[in-house]
Structure 1
């Protein structure tokens, strides 16, 4: 992975051996994927296939990401990895395979050569938290507070209290309104059990989970949230896991409110936090506009391809 990243995307955030192992044990929400290491005849590692196999929803789909060592490219290793992913998909009784690649001409040509169609583009952005102009964050927060006077904020580290769990299921499901572009995928399905599984997976993966939730004062209804996780092995690194606002509560700048409130909170709660990564569909203009106000910069674009079997 490190050898390939030096060539394909030097700034991409890579796992450590420890965090990679945790990912294979626990995944995002106790639904871990699989990884297959390809070796040559001498036993040297030449390629890696990572496969995500959804179980909560989209159970007809396998999503793949293949990596070939730069010294072994052009020898058919990538084609063997894709063939293996297609066999795995068929063996699991699934009929659709997705493929993510770096946004490189050779990767695009490879995907199309193997019958995949480009369906969407994800963009990885990174915020230099250590170099933030906090006056900009404070102004964004103050302006959002003025536009959202009917709401209050709840800050939670770790597991949700039981009384907020059902409300958070509904808010989390609001992420389904984010653009899917041309991807042939179902909406994500959420339940109290899945949210608890997400919390457990983050804890077991040695990440601290922080949430900022917007709640309507008059009704007590949860309206929006943002979550980040901070690695304990590398506590200067955080990842934005989710930001969503329920449809009935949009138009009050709640997205800007929870994201700016999170940063101001983290300045005190996680003072060592230096970088924060986030992912959005390239077409998600609303969330991207908030990120740009908060000085995120583009690290890479990841096209998503799909193929029916």
Structure 2
């Protein structure tokens, strides 16, 4: 049933199809197309595009979270979407929300009319904190500083909307790109040699998903530590529990999306413990941009240049996986100086910034 909003807009709950190419998937496929348009119009880039086949597994509810999706319409035209994710981690207070509208319908009160519906879902699930991550359009005007003191975002229409509705900018992520050129590849070889010299107690290991059985337990443990060891500032981060079953289910989902993923890790030679890792991923088009996803050095193994070791080793190994991919994109918290220093040494350059916003519900 359509929910009236304002300015002729409505909110329609989206029933996900069984398959992206099913006979009843027309509305979902249009929503996927509009989702890509929104991201392109805001970021000026197409590297976040997802096919309907890749988007569908992301939006399905699963054991670890409940996902609620609406299409925002003006008449019969889909102009955006709204999403609430409810993590199922024990004791979680958090709902992760998103309102994504095409810029040509901004300023009509639609977002303000959508927000109470997202908050209602959060309250129904006993959540008292809303969090949202979003990239804003570049601007040379005034800026808003993050609560961390590291990084800022434009003081624009989006920021004013969030501030007016009780959100606070907690953290800023730097979006960086590295062009895969002969020069950056040669530099990665030099940095890898330097990293090996500083980490003689460790060896580099690689695998493509799905993860081999003998690596699954250690990899799942490192994925758990992403929620506790990575900088999160004032953002509430639920401590996640990853076991082999959760890891395998996530990898089946990535396979359904058509993702190719390389994991590069550092193994502590004396104990056999996996101590650091990074992931490089790409969709079905291997001529597209590569995404550097989770990267972490376990806290107890820091100080041995393992971040530099795994990131450089991964990039060189990736040349055999997707040799025509032109560049790599990565996201890092602005206060994560150790990881940013590695990126800068490799030749990554800042291209955009993403804000992490938080609201406490009363």
TM-score, normalised with respect to structure 1: 0.90
Matches within 5 A, 1:70-81: 70-81=103-114
2:206 maps to 1:173: no
Equivalent of 2:120, from 74, 87, 91? 87
- Matched residue, 2:267: 215
> Gaps spanning 5+ residues in structure 2: where?
1-34, 137-152
- Matched residue, 1:306: 358
Q: Secondary structure at the match of 1:172?
A: helix
2:70 maps to 1:36: yes
- Matched residue, 2:145: none
Q: 1:58 to 1:256 in 2, by over 3 A?
A: farther
The runs of 4+ residues in structure 1 deviating greater than 6 Å are: none
Contact 1:12 1:300 in 2 (8 A): no
Equivalent of 1:64, from 73, 84, 97? 97
Find the aligned partners of 2:193 and 2:295 in 1 and give their Cα distance: 19
> Gaps spanning 5+ residues in structure 1: where?
none
Q: 1:55 to 1:275 in 2, by over 3 A?
A: farther
Question: With CA pairs under 8 Å and 6+ residues apart, which has the higher RCO, 1 or 2?
Answer: 1
2:171 maps to 1:137: no
Deviation at 1:12, TM superposition (A): 5.9
Q: CA RMSD in A?
A: 2.3
- Matched residue, 1:245: 297
How many equivalent residue pairs? 307
Q: 1:48 to 1:131 in 2, by over 3 A?
A: farther
Q: Secondary structure at the match of 1:133?
A: helix
Find the aligned partners of 1:241 and 1:118 in 2 and give their Cα distance: 23
2:220 maps to 1:186: no
Contact 1:98 1:307 in 2 (8 A): yes
Deviation at 1:214, TM superposition (A): 1.0
- Matched residue, 2:179: 128
Find the aligned partners of 1:151 and 1:196 in 2 and give their Cα distance: 26
Deviation at 1:152, TM superposition (A): 1.1
Matches within 5 A, 1:8-23: 8-11=42-45, 13-18=47-52, 19-23=54-58
Find the aligned partners of 2:243 and 2:329 in 1 and give their Cα distance: 26
Matches within 5 A, 1:257-296: 257-296=309-348
Deviation at 1:194, TM superposition (A): 2.1
Find the aligned partners of 2:68 and 2:170 in 1 and give their Cα distance: 23
Deviation at 1:60, TM superposition (A): 2.5
Q: Secondary structure at the match of 2:320?
A: helix
Find the aligned partners of 2:90 and 2:179 in 1 and give their Cα distance: 34
TM-score, normalised with respect to structure 2: 0.78
Deviation at 1:204, TM superposition (A): 1.4
Q: 1:190 to 1:8 in 2, by over 3 A?
A: same
Deviation at 1:31, TM superposition (A): 4.8
2:250 maps to 1:198: yes
Q: Which moved more, 1:140-149 or 1:153-162?
A: 153-162
